[in-house]
Chains A and B, each alone.
Chain A
Amino acid sequence: MTVLNPPIVPRKIYGLIWVVLLLLLLLNWGLAQLNLGPFNLVATLAIAFIQMMLMLLYLMHVRYNTPLTWVFVAAGFIWLVVMINLSLSDYLTRGAVAGRFGKSWIHETSVPPPVYLPKP
């Protein structure tokens, strides 16, 4: 493989991916109609993740690409995870403080801001 001639992915693979993506969509939609408790969330996110990976790896050719591309693709996601995780280090412990120590006087309260809109 050279840059000038990147691998030509057979149309069959594209077709297959397309079918799988649509099936996953159907599955995702179907699962959302059922009540599976917390599993709903996991399933939805997992399916979205699989769909994303299929598109990245095959349609966007990451699978056939150089390590440098892998690094660039990974970077975006790693940074996103850093941002979300470290922010959650605040949000998840704001409530836990009171709960864990059973003391309400610790700085944080479990209080997200209230809403002032009058209810009907």
Chain B
Amino acid sequence: MNATLPQTETLEIPKPPKRLLTYFEDGGRTVGSWLLTTDHKRIGILYLYSIVAFFTIGAIAAAIMRLELITPAGDLVTSDTYNKLFTIHGTVMVWFFLIPSIPSVLGNFVVPLMLGARDLAFPRLNLLSWYLFNLGGLLALYAIAIGGVDTGWTFYTPYSSTFTNTHVVTMVAGVFMAGFSSILTGLNFIVTTHKMRAPGLTWFRLPLFLWSNYATSVILVMATPVLAMTLVLLSIERIWGVGVFDPQLGGDPVLFQHLFWFYSHPAVYIMILPGMGVVSELVTCFARKPIFGYHFVAFASMAIALIGFFVWGHHMFTSGASVYSGLVFSITSYLVAVPSAIKVFNWTMTLHRGRIFLNTPMLYALGFIGLFTVGGLTGLFLAALALDVHVTDTYFVVAHFHYIMVGGMVTGFLGGLHYWWPKITGRLYPESLGRLAALIIFIGFNLTFFPQYVMGYLGMVRRYHAYAPEFQIYHVMSSAGASILGVGYLLPLIYLIWSLKHGKKAPANPWNATGLEWQTPSPPPKHNFAQTPIVTRPPYQYSAETEEHMVYG
């Protein structure tokens, strides 16, 4: 981290003409200088700390749940505790880990760099966004600490509004805050992408990560306010006992579901589009080839973001909503799958005639493609109306979304984190450990979640603390897988921290990649570039034909 340490690396890197202070040094190293920073890179790091903390909490909840589910009887924890555990797990993982994971950590760090900008358009808003996020997180933790919430992450009324006596309002306030933070982050990205591109960086020269980040921001900005208002209505109903959803008072509980999913379905695309963007970067870089079908991949991101708003009713096929609206939402669900298909095919075709380096980030990218495809394909099962009737609210759904969110997005996040780690920290991570961890995660993941498809189809209902004995074998497999997966997640945590001190110093462009973020030293100076770069070429000008030198492999 400290550039004044004796230089021990063996690699030869061209020295920048004049050494600029890195963003670690410029502005000071005090805690205050971090907590009051408006530097997007530092804020990205702050987010990294926050989401690692929240992931740990969510993961501990998952670990206890998996332990409990080893036996059919509910013996490890009480039913109420179990219900609180999956609520904590779902809420924390979705709003406090996965939604901010790639956009707020990696996006914050690399978006201005990729654009050739000095910072985001509204740096102070960016910092405010981080504070709101943490405030929301603290409220959520407070709700957990004073007894938890047992509604599930979906907060369905009338259970959440009238029947439960847990701390729904506190939790909901926390989610509301985090939502506010999301809106501000999305707004910042949208404006930055429109107005802060370096000279020559036209829309169709944008790296695909920026396209997907832009599409994500559109969702953040247009969907989150609806959730915010829905949560306000829920809280009012809970506090004053009068409301618009409670059947006892004349309301329709299904309306809550419409409003909730109007946000939460698009939100699942918040939880995949950034991962897709990262994978587009990784695949091109480690196949040393321009992406196959750049325009199609770029438009696919926008299409997913837009059509993603038309499909929310597929969570409500058996909710008592109209049969005819089921028809509408089923067909739109199939439509939204088309752009995902386009992406998968284009990534695969990019490998054709490439020069493939199987570095850690690439392993994660390949894992992403595989697991996302499986998760996405099972989404098609769920979108088929008749089949959804059978598998909705079973572990089939649980497996579906973990395949996409954990197998896809978390894998994508890890891939991106490894890829940009040298840029972020100025250090290289240990490559062979990296590859090992990627492999362990892949194996552990499949063992954890594939059995859930089968037991879901057999009729294993989700959110069940105790279950019928015939499902046990699958639960045992799943729990075994989770422990492997847990180890897989611990590894990067350890060696990445280790690399901060002991990792080799990273050159400016360890992967010989083409993005603007690699044209500045690692770690970058405070204002990113010594001079504003001028872009003259489309992205991904790799050539597979020439032998190349990369730090590893």
Is chain B found bound to chain A in the same assembly? yes
- Chain B residues bordering chain A, tally (CB within 8 A): 27
Q: Which residues of B contact A116 (CB under 8 A)?
A: 248-249
B-contact 0/1 string along A80-120, CB 8 Å cutoff: 00110011011111101100000000111000111111000
- A90 touching B309, Cβ below 8 Å: no
Task: Name B312's closest neighbour in chain A (CB-CB).
Answer: A86
- B323 touching A97, Cβ below 8 Å: yes
Q: Which residues of A contact B247 (CB under 8 A)?
A: 113-114
Bound form: Cα–Cα A83–B222 in Å: 11
Is there a chain B Cβ closer than 8 Å to A68's Cβ?
A: yes
What is the minimal beta-carbon distance from A79 to any residue of chain B, in angstroms?
Answer: 5
Is there a chain B Cβ closer than 8 Å to A32's Cβ?
A: no
Is there a chain A Cβ closer than 8 Å to B226's Cβ?
A: yes
Q: Which residues of A contact B226 (CB under 8 A)?
A: 83
- B328 touching A86, Cβ below 8 Å: yes
- B310 touching A82, Cβ below 8 Å: yes
Is there a chain B Cβ closer than 8 Å to A53's Cβ?
A: no
Given A79-B222, A106-B323, A86–B313 Cβ distance below 8 Å?
yes
Task: Name B222's closest neighbour in chain A (CB-CB).
Answer: A79
A68, A76, A108, A117: which contacts B322 (Cβ < 8 A)? A108
Q: Which residues of B contact A114 (CB under 8 A)?
A: 247, 250
Q: Which residues of B contact A89 (CB under 8 A)?
A: 313, 322, 324-325, 328
A-contact 0/1 string along B37-80, CB 8 Å cutoff: 00000000000000000000000000000000000000000000
Is there a chain B Cβ closer than 8 Å to A75's Cβ?
A: yes
- A90 touching B248, Cβ below 8 Å: no
Bound form: Cα–Cα A20–B134 in Å: 48
B194, B253, B254, B310: which contacts A90 (Cβ < 8 A)? B254
B262, B316, B320: which contacts A83 (Cβ < 8 A)? B262
A86, A91, A115: which contacts B310 (Cβ < 8 A)? A86
Q: Which residues of B contact A75 (CB under 8 A)?
A: 222
What is the minimal beta-carbon distance from B191 to any residue of chain A, in angstroms?
Answer: 10
Given A83-B226, A93-B322, A97-B324, A113–B310 Cβ distance below 8 Å?
no
What is the minimal beta-carbon distance from A92 to any residue of chain B, in angstroms?
Answer: 8
Most chain B CB within 10 A, of A96, A108, A112, A113, is at A113
Main secondary structure of the interface of A (DSSP, over half): helix
Most chain A CB within 10 A, of B194, B316, B325, B328, is at B325
Q: Which residues of A contact B262 (CB under 8 A)?
A: 83, 87
**Which 9 residue pairs of A and B lie closest in terms of their CB atoms, listed nearest first?**
A90-B325, A93-B324, A115-B250, A93-B322, A113-B247, A89-B325, A90-B321, A94-B322, A90-B322
Q: Which residues of A contact B251 (CB under 8 A)?
A: 113
Is there a chain A Cβ closer than 8 Å to B431's Cβ?
A: no
Q: Which residues of B contact A87 (CB under 8 A)?
A: 255, 258, 262
Bound form: Cα–Cα A1–B7 in Å: 56
Is there a chain A Cβ closer than 8 Å to B393's Cβ?
A: no
What is the minimal beta-carbon distance from B169 to any residue of chain A, in angstroms?
Answer: 23
Bound form: Cα–Cα A55–B313 in Å: 35
Bound form: Cα–Cα A111–B316 in Å: 18
Bound form: Cα–Cα A90–B261 in Å: 14
- Determine the interface band of chain A, counting residues with CB < 8 A from chain B: 20 to 34
Most chain A CB within 10 A, of B194, B253, B258, is at B258
What is the minimal beta-carbon distance from B304 to any residue of chain A, in angstroms?
Answer: 15
- A113 touching B252, Cβ below 8 Å: yes
Contact residues, A22-80 vs B (CB, 8 A): 68, 75-76, 79
Most chain A CB within 10 A, of B253, B255, B321, is at B321
Bound form: Cα–Cα A92–B312 in Å: 17
Q: Which residues of A contact B255 (CB under 8 A)?
A: 87
- A107 touching B323, Cβ below 8 Å: yes
Q: Which residues of A contact B249 (CB under 8 A)?
A: 115-117
- B313 touching A90, Cβ below 8 Å: yes
Contact residues, B164-199 vs A (CB, 8 A): 194
Task: Name A100's closest neighbour in chain B (CB-CB).
Answer: B324
Q: Which residues of B contact A115 (CB under 8 A)?
A: 249-250
- B250 touching A113, Cβ below 8 Å: yes
Q: Which residues of B contact A112 (CB under 8 A)?
A: 252
Task: Name A76's closest neighbour in chain B (CB-CB).
Answer: B222
Bound form: Cα–Cα A82–B263 in Å: 13
Bound form: Cα–Cα A11–B128 in Å: 38
Bound form: Cα–Cα A117–B246 in Å: 12
Known: A86-B328, A89-B325. 13 other contacts (CB 8 A): A68-B194, A76-B222, A79-B222, A79-B309, A83-B309, A90-B313, A90-B316, A96-B324, A97-B322, A97-B323, A113-B251, A115-B250, A117-B249
Q: Which residues of A contact B310 (CB under 8 A)?
A: 82, 86
- B328 touching A108, Cβ below 8 Å: no
A sample of 15 inter-chain contacts (CB < 8 A) reads A76-B222, A83-B262, A86-B310, A86-B328, A89-B325, A89-B328, A90-B258, A90-B313, A93-B325, A97-B324, A108-B323, A112-B252, A113-B252, A115-B250, A116-B248
What is the minimal beta-carbon distance from B33 to any residue of chain A, in angstroms?
Answer: 34
Task: Name A68's closest neighbour in chain B (CB-CB).
Answer: B194
Q: Which residues of B contact A108 (CB under 8 A)?
A: 320, 322-323
Q: Which residues of A contact B194 (CB under 8 A)?
A: 68
A-contact 0/1 string along B326-357, CB 8 Å cutoff: 00110000000000000000000000000000
Bound form: Cα–Cα A69–B325 in Å: 33
Task: Name A115's closest neighbour in chain B (CB-CB).
Answer: B250
Most chain B CB within 10 A, of A86, A92, A96, A114, is at A86
What is the minimal beta-carbon distance from B75 to any residue of chain A, in angstroms?
Answer: 39
Task: Name B263's closest neighbour in chain A (CB-CB).
Answer: A83
Bound form: Cα–Cα A112–B244 in Å: 13
